[in-house]
Amino acid sequence: MEHVQYLKIYLDDHRAGAAAGTDLARRLWRKNRSGPWGAELKGIREMLEAEKETLDSVRAAVGVSGGHGKRALAVLSAQAARLKPNGHLLGYSPLTKVVE
């Protein structure tokens, strides 16, 4: 059953990416919901949240569990990447929205 191991790795990796992406999408929407991109960001956030639920359903259907470490690492890595000098301690720099 070697192929099951590869499926588990793929699903773990995809779910970890979805966790990090959803975390970013939530933060972007929260910070910009009243701006011109608010509705678009809300749609992206909702789409990623639905993808996470779908992945969880697929994982359960094929009997894949675990992967919590990869998810935590993905989210923490995404948050750590935000800790870079941009000239603004707590807020956006002029290029932050472009980069994100």
* CA distance linking residue 43 with residue 41, whole number of Å: 5
Above 70 in pLDDT, residue 97? Answer: no
The tens digit of pLDDT for each residue in 1-54 reads 678 888 888 888 888 888 888 988 998 899 889 999 899 999 999 999 999 899
- What is the reported pLDDT for 93? 67
The number of beta carbons lying within 10 Å of the beta carbon of residue 55 is 20
Q: What is the domain partition of the chain in residue ranges?
A: 2-99
Residue tagged 């059953």 (tokens): 1
Q: Is 0.85 surpassed by the pTM of this model? A: no
- Kindly state the average pLDDT of the residues 46-75: 86
Of the pLDDT bands very low, low, confident and very high (cuts 50, 70, 90), residue 89 is low
- What is the reported pLDDT for 57? 92
